[in-house]
Structure formats: structure tokens, C-alpha cells
Amino acid sequence: MPLTIFFLNGPNANLYGLDPSGTYGTESFPAIRERCLAHAQTLGVTLDFRQSNHEGEIVDWIQEARAKADAIVINAAGLTYTSIAILDALLAFDKPIIEAHMSNIWKREPFRHHSFVSKAATGVVAGLGALGYELAISAAARLAAARAEGGQT
Ligand code: DHK
């Protein structure tokens, strides 16, 4: 059975490409989603790509991933810096977790420099836009496959 990766997106990610500041590029969220699904297909993994503006729904999805996913890619967006509930849910997921951000959060305002998600993440990809999402999926797939085989990445 192919490996399954949950790609969870937080609040306002649905507005990517529409943000007048251009921070998140010009590609729409549905287009980014299609890119990610196509990339996962080339890797032979199943990608479950979701977005929610609601913290509790994201917590529910992380809990669901415990039984259904081999790895998580997560961009918790604004909840990255505030949500201990998301951190606790991620800490209860004992498989690879890749934290992804479209923008380079360390180049931005100081309030974006502390990520609770990082406390649970295996690794972080930031600042590379949707390319970073593809890299995050590749990393999650590699780490999940290595874990399944009990081997090296
Ligand atoms: C996305 C957001 O919506 C912001 O709240 C984060 C992140 C950064 C991103 O770069 O993808 O601060």
C-alpha cells in the first residue's frame, strides 16, 4: 500500500495568491494544491491535502493522522506561533513531521520567529514558496519510507 502523507494548512492559506502584499506569491491556493498532488503522484505517495481556518479542526486532523498517515507536512500559518493545542497533538504523532512555510518567517516580524510547531517537527522548510511545499513532501516521503523499512534516509 502506498505511504500516506497528510498536508495540513492553517488559517488564511486559502487566500494565497490573493494577498495584495505579494508575500505568498501569485499562485492560487487551488493551484498550489494541484502542484502538490501532482508531485506526490510522481513520488508514488498518497497526499491528503487539507486547509482549515479553525484550530480545533486542525487538532482533529492531526489526531486522525495517528491512524491514517505515515507523515505530516504542516503549515499551521498564524497558529504556528500561538497554538499549544496543535503542538500537543503533533507531539502525540510519533512519525515524521515537516513544518513548511511559504515565506522565510525569520526574515519577517519578530512575532513570527517563535514556532511552537518546531518543537515537534523533524525538519523545517521555509522561504521557498510552493517549491518548498514540494520539497517538504519529498522529505516526508523519504523519512516515512525509511521509517517503514527501518533504514536510513
Ligand atoms: C503563513 C501564514 O499565514 C503566516 O501566518 C505565517 C506562513 C507564515 C507562511 O509563510 O506560509 O506567519
Distance in Å, CA 42 to ligand 1 centroid:
27
Which residue out of 14, 51, 105 has the highest number of ligand 1 atoms within 8 Å of its CB and is therefore the one to mutate?
A: 105
Please, what is the average pLDDT of the chain?
A: 96
Task: Look at ligand 1, atom 3, and give the residue with the nearest C-alpha.
Answer: 77
**Rounded percentage of the chain residues whose pLDDT exceeds 90:** 90
Interval between CA 49 and ligand 1 midpoint (Å): 17
Type of residue numbered 137? I
CA–CA gap between residue 65 and residue 72 (Å, rounded): 8
Buried b (16+ CB within 10 A) or exposed e, 28-63: ebeebbebbeebbeebebbbbbebbbebeebbebbe
**Band of pLDDT at residue 152, cut at 50, 70 and 90:** low
Residues annotated as catalytic (active site), given as ranges: 24, 101
> Is residue 147's pLDDT more than 90?
yes
Give 111-143 pLDDT, tens digit per residue.
999 999 999 999 999 999 999 999 999 999 999
Q: Cell numbers at residue 20, please?
A: 495584495
pLDDT of residue 144: 98
Which pLDDT belongs to residue 26? 87
The neighbour count for residue 106, using CB atoms within 10 Å, is: 13
CATH 3.40.50.9100 assigned to domain 4-148? The reply is yes
3-state helix, strand, coil in the chain (%, to 5): 50, 15, 35
How many other β-carbons are positioned within 10 Å of the β-carbon of residue 152? 6
Residue 105 and residue 115 in contact, taking contact as beta carbons nearer than 8 Å: yes
CA distance 27 to 23: 11
Q: What are the sequence ranges of the domains in the chain?
A: 4-148
pLDDT value, residue 58: 98
> Is 83's pLDDT higher than 80?
yes
Q: Which pTM does this prediction carry?
A: 0.96
Determine which residue's CA is closest to atom 2 belonging to ligand 1: 77
Mean pLDDT of 58-84: 98
